[in-house]
Amino acid sequence: MAVKTFVLDGQFISAREGQTLLEVARESGVRVPTLCHLDGLGEVGACRLCLVEVNGRLMPACLTRVAEEMDVRTQSDRLRRYRKQIVELLFAERNHVCSVCVANGDCELQDLAMQLGVDHVRYPPQEPECAVDLSHDRYGIDHNRCVLCTRCVRVCDEIEGAHTWDVAGRGTNARVITDLNQPWGDASTCTSCGKCVMACPTGALFHRGSSVSESAHDRETLHALIVAREEKRWLV
């Protein structure tokens, strides 16, 4: 397989052909913020947090494959500004109240805010009407905490295969739904596997009966399942 050499934050790096900038950055210990990315799932390039400057142009690191003579910058004043704004927009978009959230302390949105130095939200809260659905016997969804990363949709489609979740509506009215927008407990395609809960970055999807700060996203099990499926290796 061909090797590509390019510049990453001023350093020459060699990478395998076909790798994405995000993969190479992580291998090199360079941290690029992400939210809609989850190892093993198809990329969508939707959150725009992983935007990096490639030869001066903004490109999503998760989808951009390495090429010769790329000059990549993962940090700049501009990128820092944009990343903060995106996180603030997310906090203002729905009703995120960390203090009463099951994922308090185990939340990628919180982690991003801390890493990026977001200490206040400059945008007024949109305060949309968002429901909580506890009809499923094992899990629940609180749309107030959803960031529409669609990781639940992708894990259910690509790894479990049931495709119970999808996105309905458009723009700020978009919501993740099960089957024909039925209560989750009535969604006959759901296998109750819980992968969507493992994949969710925030406290939107959770185990019923867990309380504030009690969520522990089981990424390891999810990762092991993906590796088993794709590489036929079982990490026990």
Q: Interface with another protein by CB under 8 A: which residues?
A: 44-49, 51, 58, 60, 63, 81-82, 85-86, 89-90, 92-93, 122-124, 126, 147-148, 162-174, 177-182, 187, 189
Q: Pick between residue 157 and residue 218 the one whose CB is nearest to another protein.
A: 157
Among candidate residues 233, 186, 227, the one with its CA nearest the CA of residue 41: 227
Q: How far is the CB of 65 from another protein (least distance, A)?
A: 9
Assess contact for 123 and 92: CB atoms under 8 A: yes
Assess contact for 206 and 139: CB atoms under 8 A: yes
Q: Pick between residue 83 and residue 217 the one whose CB is nearest to another protein.
A: 83
175: three-class secondary structure by DSSP: strand
**Cα–Cα dist 53/62, whole Å:** 13
Q: Kindly list the strands in the beta sheet with 71-73, ordered across the sheet, starting from the edge strand earlier in the chain.
A: 11-16, 3-8, 71-73, 51-54, 57-60
Q: How far is the CB of 10 from another protein (least distance, A)?
A: 23
Q: Pick between residue 166 and residue 218 the one whose CB is nearest to another protein.
A: 166
Q: How far is the CB of 26 from another protein (least distance, A)?
A: 19
Among candidate residues 139, 145, 129, the one with its CA nearest the CA of residue 183: 139
Q: How far is the CB of 25 from another protein (least distance, A)?
A: 17
Q: Pick between residue 180 and residue 236 the one whose CB is nearest to another protein.
A: 180
Q: Pick between residue 29 and residue 124 the one whose CB is nearest to another protein.
A: 124
Assess contact for 145 and 101: CB atoms under 8 A: yes
Q: How far is the CB of 154 from another protein (least distance, A)?
A: 13
